[in-house]
Every structure is written in structure tokens, then in C-alpha cells.
Amino acid sequence: MPFVAPVAPNPSVLAWARQESGFEVDVVAKKLGVNPERLKEWETGDKVPTMRQLEHLAKFYHRPLGLFFRTKPPVIPPLATEYRRLNGLVPGHESPEMRLAIRKMSNRRQLMIDLLEESGEEAASFDLKAHLNESPPNVAERLRNALRVSLETQFQWASEWEAWASWRDAAEKLGVLVFQFPKVPLEEARGISLLSWPFPVAAVNSKEMSPEARSFTLIHEIVHLMLAAGHDELPAAKERRHDADWEIVERFAEETASHVLVAENALRAMISASKLDSDDWDISKVRTLARKFRVTPLAMATRLRASGYMSWPSYNLWKQQWQAYVAELKPRSGGFSTPVGKTLGRAGKPFTRLILEAMTAQRITSDQAARQLDLKIEHFNKLKDALRSRPGTGGVDE
């Protein structure tokens, strides 16, 4: 006989938890193996779920069990008051996967701030600003100088994975929290920014298997943070620009990111030395140039167009050819990711390091640390070793 909860859960909280997590009744009912009408009865108070069913609900919604017994639903601001506007994503209609990803990143950011305040440490300050009336090359130069990535260093990277890890490490040193989020379709978002200070977030979709694409998305999101810091961009819930106007913002971030990853002087020197200065850019030529800078061919084509080496008609034609070429390729494998690699990939080194330090100082328990890092305690020693390694030496992350 199933065990019934000694105190009935609050029906309105049950309904709130489902709606806030972005799930329809049918989806939750199927997951729990109950009739949709039964779930509706739980949410109206006509029926009471068992304790086991409540535990399953808590796990599925990623909420604490005690939440269901509160006297009323929590009052929290909409997620769209934090993240930047995304093409095609209507605030309040995010997928359950996206809602969970944003909530986790937001919670990690707030926990990091709280732990630093408890220890008396000051939060790093990301204070770079950008404005849409500036030229992308000028903004890119300012950002690249702040990241402290020299051309010499960039050309010495042994692989695209080392390039990605190095750009990420440089961004984290600026006071940006770089997270990766899983399970969200690439069509919904390749990257996302949380426009909150201190510790604004630049996040990359871990479904993006190409490290070159992750690097571009990261820098792209940092440009959005700079625009927000310069009051030229607002969170999604407050953005009122029409699609055409928003496209200007996206194009600015795209061109600026391409200038950061491919410095103008280095590009001109390389094209001149290779005698590639023409508008006859086929896929092979662009790929060759892209490999030297550890960027995607699409990012390189964007860069060539921005610097006048490729006309708009040529760029649009090249892009069509490239999309057709990619469609015929087999999916690229990202390699094997270890539990430690997943943790560092999703949470980043600054957050991970702070959690381990708080655990050592007994400000949080090992169980709490394990929950925050989504990692079993038995892997903590390997995690500490990975934190001591230099960027790009820890293998494939997620």
C-alpha cells in the first residue's frame, strides 16, 4: 500500500511548480505514469498525491520537496528579466530545458556572490562597455586588449580545443562567469547572456560540438554584455526593438566578435603573404585561413566580408554553399567527456574553485558541494587536479 503524505501539499504550489518549469500537464503525467486528469486533480486539491509521487515531482521539476508544502507559491521575477533577447524566443515561452538551464546559471551566480561576501572577498568587476555607434573594430580592439590574448599566443595554440579553453580562461579572468548549458536545442539558443552585475554570465550551448564555434559564441555573448553595460541593450523582458532594429544589434555583436578572434593587422598580413587578396573565395580557401586563427569557416567568411575582402553578394553565395556543404557532413563528435570534464565545462573554474574552497573551510558540506557541482564526491580529487592544469590540457569538456 503506498505511503500517503501526512500533510497534504499545497495544490496551488504544485500547479505553480509545473508552470514555472515550463511543462504541460500531459508531459508531466506521462513522466509519472499517471492519468493527466489525476495530475489536474492534484493541482485543484481534489486528490492528494502520495509521498513517492511528490518525490518524483520534485525530482522532475528540480525543486526541493519542502516547496510543495508552502502556504503559497513563491513570487519570483520572470526569467526574461535576466537574460538577453534571443531571436525567435518569446519571453515566458522558453522550453523546460532552457528554463532549467537559466535557473541553474542564475542560482550559481548568486551563490558565488553570497560565498564571496561571507568570506569578505570582493567580486571581480567586469566594467567593459560598448555602444552601437562605435565601430566594431574599435570595440574589438578594446575587448581583445582586456582579454590579454596576443597574436603570438593565439598562433601557438596546438588545437581548437586549446583555443576554446584559452579564450574561456581569459574571459573568466575579466569577471565574466562562463557556463555551458546542456540539453537545450541549438535552434533555441547557441549562447545566452545574463545581464546582471557583478559576475555577468556568458553561456554557451554544450550541444555545439565545434570548439571554434564555442569560442565565437563566447566572444559574441561578451559583446552583448558590453552593450548592456553601456546601456545600449536591455534584458529580454524590457527590449522593445523591432526585429529589423534588433538585427542591427546582432550584426554588431557578430562583427565585433569576428574582429576579436581575427585581428585586422594579422588578417591583412596573412592574406598578403598567401596572395589570397581577391573576391574569389571558395570553401577551401576560407577553411585554410580559418584553421590558422582557430575559428569556424563561417566566422572567417564573416570577417572577410566585414573587412571588405568579400562583397555582400559573394558572402551570401559563399554562405549558401557552406550550408549545403555542412548539411552533407556527418555529425562531428566532441569526444569522450569525463564527469570532471562535464563539471568544469558546465560550471567553469571560478565557480568550481570557490565551491571547493567553501567546502574546505566548512562553510558548506561535501554533500552540498556535490549538488552544486553535479559531481559525486569520489571525483573531487580529480577535480582539484584538473583545476591546477593549464587551459586546454584537460581534454574535451561538455
Residue 205 DSSP symbol: E
Cell of 392: 586546454
CA 395, CA 338: separation in Å to the nearest integer? 9
For 35, phi then psi, to 5°, come to -70, 140
SS3 202: strand
For 374, phi then psi, to 5°, come to 50, 45
HSE, side-chain direction, 13 A CA sphere, residue 242: 1
State residue 388's pLDDT score: 86
Task: Name the nearest CA neighbour of 263 among 372, 173, 157, 141.
Answer: 141
Residues belonging to the chain: 398
CA 110, CA 97: separation in Å to the nearest integer? 20
Block residue for cell numbers 513563491: 74
The answer to whether the predicted template modeling score (pTM) of the entire model surpasses 0.85 is yes
Block residue for cell numbers 516547496: 67
State residue 6's pLDDT score: 52
Cell of 187: 535552434
- Alpha-helical runs (H) found in the chain: 11-21, 25-32, 36-44, 51-61, 96-119, 136-147, 151-156, 160-173, 211-229, 243-261, 264-274, 283-293, 297-306, 312-328, 339-347, 349-360, 366-373, 380-388
Distances (CA, A) of 205 to 101, 163, 316, 372: 10, 17, 26, 19
Peptide bond into 198 cis (omega under 30): yes
State residue 5's pLDDT score: 47
Q: Look at the alpha carbons of 158, 391, 83, 258 in this order and tell me if their dihedral is positive or negative.
A: negative
State residue 392's pLDDT score: 59
Tens place of pLDDT per residue across the chain (398 aa): 454 545 689 999 999 999 999 999 999 999 999 999 999 999 999 999 999 999 999 999 999 999 999 999 999 999 999 999 999 899 999 999 999 999 999 999 999 999 999 988 888 889 999 999 999 999 999 999 999 999 999 999 999 999 999 999 999 999 999 999 999 999 999 999 999 999 999 999 999 989 999 999 999 999 999 999 999 999 999 999 999 999 999 999 999 999 999 999 999 998 888 776 566 788 999 999 999 999 999 999 989 988 889 988 989 999 999 999 988 876 655 556 799 999 999 999 999 999 999 999 999 999 999 999 999 999 999 999 999 876 655 445 66
**Axis-axis angle for helices 160-173, 136-147 (nearest 10):** 90
State residue 391's pLDDT score: 62
